[in-house]
């Protein structure tokens, strides 16, 4: 039986909500734990979401032992018995980030085989930059029959690699492979996302020698071995931004406990432009929405430190009710506007031309039955539902549940009227204890 999320719009959200650990940093760090040939790695502050469980399964299929604490927020990973160099295809198909095990497995076993991740609802998403980087480190690659098989019988060796585009995943894969290579690797035009910085700090805690992570030039001096360590993942800037926008779109007042102001700056600056009040405090960020309608703005999603593409959809939901016309461009993905047709069912007015959408703000949205086509699209529809008159019923909720920890419960805690139910219209479902 499928599930849906029901949202009754109109409540002004208020209170304090705690921000979970970063999904994307956690996924990378779990892949990075493969590199430890001695000791156990303990990772804290993991979000309890479907994607993390899937990544744990990818590791288990490689022969690695992974267990979680009772609350699900910490994992113990013992990779000393890495036995298989082949990632399980059916699991890789479910999670693009599982392709990130390619670099670490190759570095440990001198060979690796992983299914090519497919395209998805937001564009083609090739892996050519990952492959170019690993090739530059001396790997022999065979990308045929839907798989990437990599071999480096004599080990990997340092190289200077220039990325045509600062890909997050390619930077991570190359940096993890190079950590156990021989000599120095320099990645130019590296991705600078906070998730890269966090992965770099984690690898350093394992004994890696890395400099410049979080900047455009990243250097890795290879070491012979890495060992398990204890590490706490940073908080999720995209979840924090989404919860802040929930305050903004409802004219509410919410404190984002644990949000990192430096990581959120590209988002909070745009929030201020749109008329939201943002106050950075010692433990987090307070966001207060305008009493009337937000202001329109221009927004371009770019690699970090630009405005994050993963926040583009949720921010656009806010602009749908702005007092004027906004222009939103996504320079990271070629097809990340599909959700606008769903928002249209709620009364939003948008025109898309390639990578740019022109949003004409409307005074009111109305609740409707809508489908969450991907994770961030679902978040945008949820936010619109909080503002809309009447009931919104969001289907295909599996996307939302795999990426946001207990979003329904967190918003309930702030005063939203929202619940999960089975699609036959039966009783309310409680899935999450936040
Ligand atoms: C990461 O994906 C995130 N995923 C994405 O989060 C995020 O949208 C993206 O970075 C950009 O910030 C995880 O961390 C698990 P990229 P990744 O490689 O690494 C093109 C979410 O909603 N490209 O930086 O796959 C690619 O097609 C998600 O949480 C190449 O052309 O992103 C895309 O247009 C979804 N060749 C652009 O670069 C390559 O070899 C950015 O991709 C690699 C990428």
232 secondary structure, DSSP code:
E
pLDDT tens sequence across 302-351: 999 999 999 999 999 999 999 999 999 999 998 899 999 999 999 999 99
Q: Is the pLDDT of residue 263 over 80?
A: yes
Alpha-carbon distance of 203 to 179, in angstroms, equals: 8
Q: Which of 402, 413, 350, 363 is nearest to 379 (CA)?
A: 402
Rounded mean pLDDT, 265-285: 97
Length of the chain: 434
Provide residues with CB under 6 Å of ligand 1.
24, 27, 96-97, 123-130, 165, 167-170, 191, 309-310, 332-333, 375-376, 403
1 burial (CB, 10 Å; 0-12 / 13-18 / 19+) is exposed
Best mutation site among 25, 117, 167, 313 for ligand 1 pocket (most ligand atoms within 8 Å of CB): 167
Confidence class for position 117, pLDDT limits 50, 70, 90:
confident
Find the mean pLDDT for residues 370-374: 94
Q: What pLDDT score was predicted for residue 259?
A: 98
Average pLDDT over residues 356-372: 98
Q: Percent of the chain beyond pLDDT 90?
A: 90
Question: For position 427, what pLDDT does the model report?
Answer: 73
Q: What is the mean pLDDT of residues 73-78?
A: 98
SS3 assignment, position 43 = strand
Which strands, in side-by-side order, build the sheet including 147-151? 111-115, 147-151, 140-142
pLDDT in tens, 3-42: 999 999 999 999 999 999 999 999 999 999 999 999 999 9
Question: How does DSSP classify residue 96?
Answer: G
- Provide mean pLDDT across the span 288-309: 98
Answer whether the bond into residue 359 is a cis peptide, omega within 30°.
Answer: no
Which one from 120, 320, 406, 432 is the annotated catalytic residue?
120
Q: Does this model's pTM top 0.75?
A: yes
User: Is 120 among the residues known to form the active site?
Assistant: yes
pLDDT score, position 94: 85
Residue of 31, 311, 332, 354 best suited for mutating to test ligand 1, as the one with most atoms within 8 Å of CB? 332
CA-nearest of 15, 93, 4 to 412 is 15
**Residue 124: pLDDT band with limits 50, 70, 90:** low
DSSP 34: G
* Percent of the chain whose predicted confidence (pLDDT) is above 70: 97
CA dist 349 and 149 (Å) reads 46
- Does the pLDDT value for residue 246 go beyond 80? yes
Nearest to 349 by CA among 322, 315, 389: 322
């Amino acid at each position: 039986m499928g599930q849906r999320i029901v949202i009754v719009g109109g409540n002004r959200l208020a209170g304090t909500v705690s921000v979970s650990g970063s999904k994307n940093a956690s996924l990378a760090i779990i892949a990075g734990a493969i590199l430890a040939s001695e000791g156990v790695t303990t990772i804290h502050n993991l979000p309890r979401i479907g994607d993390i469980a899937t990544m744990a399964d990818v590791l288990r299929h490689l022969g690695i032992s992974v267990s979680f604490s009772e609350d699900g927020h910490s994992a113990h990973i013992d990779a000393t018995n890495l036995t298989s160099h082949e990632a399980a295809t059916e699991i890789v198909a479910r999670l693009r980030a599982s392709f990130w095990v390619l670099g670490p497995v190759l570095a440990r076993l001198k060979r690796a085989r992983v299914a090519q991740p497919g395209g998805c609802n937001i564009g083609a998403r090739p892996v050519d930059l990952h492959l170019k980087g690993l090739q530059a480190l001396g790997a022999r690659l065979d990308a045929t029959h839907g798989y990437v098989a990599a071999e480096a019988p004599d080990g990997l060796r340092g190289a200077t690699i220039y990325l045509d585009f600062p890909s997050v995943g390619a930077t991570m894969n190359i940096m993890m492979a190079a950590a156990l290579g021989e000599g120095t690797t320099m990645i130019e035009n590296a991705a600078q996302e906070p998730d890269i910085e966090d992965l770099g700090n984690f690898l350093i805690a394992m004994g890696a020698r890395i400099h410049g992570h979080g900047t455009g030039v990243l250097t890795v001096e290879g070491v012979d071995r890495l060992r398990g360590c204890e590490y706490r993942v940073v908080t999720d800037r995209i979840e924090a931004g989404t919860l802040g926008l929930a305050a903004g779109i409802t004219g509410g007042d919410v404190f984002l406990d644990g949000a990192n102001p430096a990581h959120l700056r590209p988002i909070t600056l745009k929030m201020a432009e749109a008329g939201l009040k943002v106050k950075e405090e010692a433990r987090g960020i307070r966001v207060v929405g305008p009493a009337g309608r937000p202001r329109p703005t221009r927004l371009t999603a770019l690699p970090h430190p630009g405005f994050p593409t993963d926040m583009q959809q949720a921010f656009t939901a806010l602009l749908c009710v702005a007092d004027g016309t906004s222009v939103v461009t996504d320079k990271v993905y070629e097809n990340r506007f599909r959700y606008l047709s769903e928002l249209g069912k709620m009364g939003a007015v948008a025109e898309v031309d390639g990578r740019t959408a022109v949003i004409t703000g409307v005074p009111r949205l109305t609740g409707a039955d809508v489908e969450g086509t991907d994770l961030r699209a679902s978040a945008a529809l949820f936010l619109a539902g909080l503002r809309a008159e009447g009931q919104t019923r969001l289907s295909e909720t599996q996307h939302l549940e795999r990426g946001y920890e207990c979003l329904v419960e967190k918003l309930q805690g702030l005063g939203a009227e929202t619940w999960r139910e089975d699609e036959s219209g039966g009783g309310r479902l409680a899935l999450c204890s936040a």
